[in-house]
Chains A and B, each alone.
Chain A
């Protein structure tokens, strides 16, 4: 009897541990199913009709369901992207797209794991700078086959964005949106300081002169700055119209860039680095943004910044102008970035995925996106649509500013170049070294990094 009890115990232990293992293995599949059903409920209406169609009409090719990942989950962006997706679902009857929100950055790590496991999403929004990396590492699908069926697709996009989507001259992504930077200034503050609110600074000299007139200093304490070149990289890019890092490698230490860094450093020398740091530490975001609360007279921001101005300021009080040029004629250069649509490597329905990507980058979807989010879109025709200007006076200006906007992929052997270049430049900005030494060091550090990763 006792024996029987014991063997029963042993048996049940084995059974239990076995079932534990099974549930451990099975949970993945269950979760996936749960996720899917959750997604489906969010698109219930269209999905139900879709399913019905698929089951009742067997002669039609089976409906393909695509999983689309992006990081747009805010109350402003999510409804827009979901509307575009549901418009696409309604526009045809053989593809159904489920939108799945993934927190920024997290989704990309998840994609990496999913690609390695051979079960990736069908379409994903990715970073434009690193297309080449994912192409080389077999994380993204080569799109040549689909582009060749309709080569005109590439003419949709701003040329620098299309270039950034190529790796070894073959496309691995379609550009979705981008950004460009330009000067916003407070007309009120200009008037107050005796400056003409209709003539924003055109060169760096004018920018500095205007800034000094707008500065409000109380002893050592800064109450308002006319301007502060917080984004020093932009001025280095602007100086000679060349990115510090482009697809060919580093360009940190050109004479123009050394002058530019000296110019940026002159702000710290004039105001005191610790005073500036103290002042900068009070900066917030949204309604506490330094420009919005009047702590800055001028600022350089992207086109979407206008959304904040519209929410928290009177847009009529704000002027905008291209980034001032270093010297007359040197160019109003700025840098840009953006996001692209990719098909992760190993995705099951690349042809259908590409069809969805085509829709996403076509005029209607792109216009809708730009109209409601004040975002710069990759499609030139959509970006230039005159209708956009009625809702957003900055729209046209931002689109025109694309001609001054430099976008370039980062070389595959130095994706993390900023970790070796920036500390050198930061040390110059902290007054620990001079501009030339810092930029020479940055140049050679990045070059070394590229050489060592060959």
Chain B
């Protein structure tokens, strides 16, 4: 048996090199994942792309309608623009504010003082909590009459707004809530800050650089790859905002209320898909959002050339 195998392999010209074999085995090892990806991610993805050109409603029809869904999106659906505007407003406000807040927090928590670990834990804790529980908590905190936020404001003689009841304040309120849980980003920045070599600061100090200058010329460039990563992921997750509008609406029977101020893109898409069964249209919306996010990420990538600094590389 052994000899025949040997003679067989001798006949061919290096039938299966070690590398090839290992390659094959490698593919076999990742096969479950690849099958899972094709079946449960790529498959539905392509299906939704096809569905976006049909009038699919789950149960009764799936006829090809060409670009009708896309036309309706731009010309027929008044809430499409409302939801897009709401989402953009939220993203534009949330991304810079949370980025700034988490860098600031990380810098503060990067001090070498006793008990700093306790503070780090405290500031990280909110990001462990998630979901509806946090929203319920904030709805209590932001209650116009009895909430603690307006109570504290009243100590300074400020009459707080209606928050979740006032369409002008709902999105800022949600951004505020997001800033409370910047712990996740903070942790990334903290790790990056700890990775900045001490001798660079020492050298700069000897050269007479002040602390602001050191931060701007040493810290910022060295943590810029992490900022870049964080900004991109925050952008993407920002566009996916959904639950907040669904749960925190002032009238629970009308998701997105008051006055559609919390009708985010994904919430509108969800309602179209599962409440009205316009799955074809909802799929078209999903693909539009994909293109928007892709476009913004590409701009981000392109702009990054000018501000992201990679230590020891050629800038890539």
Contacts and interface: CB of A to CB of B under 8 A. Distances in A.
Contacts of A445: 78
A430 interface: yes
A115 B277 CA distance: 13
A420 B263 CA distance: 12
Contacts of B272: 416
Interface stretch (B112-120, B138-146, B172-180, B221-229): B138-146
B59 A10 contact: no
Nearest to B31: A17
Contacts of B146: 281-282
A6 interface: yes
A422 interface: yes
A10 B78 CA distance: 57
A60 interface: no
A139 B162 CA distance: 42
A452 B35 contact: no
A330 interface: no
Interface string B235-260: 00000000000000000001011111
Select the residue from B24, B59, B146, B254 with max chain A CB neighbours within 10 A: B59
A103 B41 CA distance: 28
Nearest to B255: A419
A426 B143 contact: no
A420 B254 CA distance: 11
A416 B59 contact: no
Interface string B146-172: 110000000000000010011100000
Interface in A1-44: 3, 6, 9-10, 13-14, 16-17, 20-21
Interface residues on chain B, size class: 35 or more
A126 to B, nearest CB: 13
Contacts of A116: 58-59
A430 B32 contact: no
A10 B263 CA distance: 52
A430 B259 contact: yes
B144 A277 contact: yes
A274 interface: yes
Given A17-B32, A281-B165, A423-B259, A137 B59 contact: yes
B55 to A, nearest CB: 10
B303 to A, nearest CB: 36
Contacts of A209: none
Nearest to A1: B2
A279 interface: yes
A415 B276 contact: yes
A345 interface: yes
Interface residues of A, number: 41
A92 interface: no
Given A278-B162, A282-B143, A423-B259, A112 B59 contact: yes
A397 to B, nearest CB: 26
A427 B259 contact: yes
A88 B276 CA distance: 35
B61 to A, nearest CB: 8
Interface string B79-109: 1000000000000000000000000000000
Contacts of B166: 277
B271 interface: yes
Contacts of B72: 452
B58 A115 contact: yes
Main secondary structure of the interface of B (DSSP, over half): loop
A281 B61 CA distance: 44
Contacts of B277: 112, 133, 137
B107 to A, nearest CB: 37
Given A136-B60, A345-B59, A416-B276, A279 B145 contact: yes
A113 B145 CA distance: 43
Given A6-B21, A426-B257, A419 B271 contact: yes
Contact of A418 (B35, B57, B162, B254): B254
Contacts of A426: 257-259
Given A277-B165, A281-B162, A445-B78, A137 B276 contact: no
A274 B145 CA distance: 10
B28 interface: yes
B295 interface: no
Select the residue from B76, B259, B260 with max chain A CB neighbours within 10 A: B259
Interface string B1-45: 000010000000000000001001100110110010000000000
Select the residue from A281, A282, A420 with max chain B CB neighbours within 10 A: A281
A110 to B, nearest CB: 11
Contact of A278 (B59, B145, B257): B145
A18 B244 CA distance: 40
Interface of A: 3, 6, 9-10, 13-14, 16-17, 20-21, 109, 112-113, 115-116, 133, 136-139, 274, 277-282, 345, 415-416, 418-420, 422-423, 426-427, 430, 445, 448, 452
20 contacts: A6-B21, A16-B32, A17-B31, A109-B274, A112-B58, A112-B277, A137-B57, A137-B59, A138-B59, A277-B144, A278-B162, A281-B162, A415-B276, A419-B256, A419-B260, A419-B271, A423-B259, A426-B258, A430-B167, A445-B78
Given A3-B5, A138-B60, A418-B254, 16 more contacts: A9-B25, A10-B25, A16-B32, A20-B32, A21-B32, A112-B58, A115-B58, A139-B60, A277-B166, A281-B145, A281-B162, A282-B145, A415-B276, A419-B79, A419-B271, A448-B78
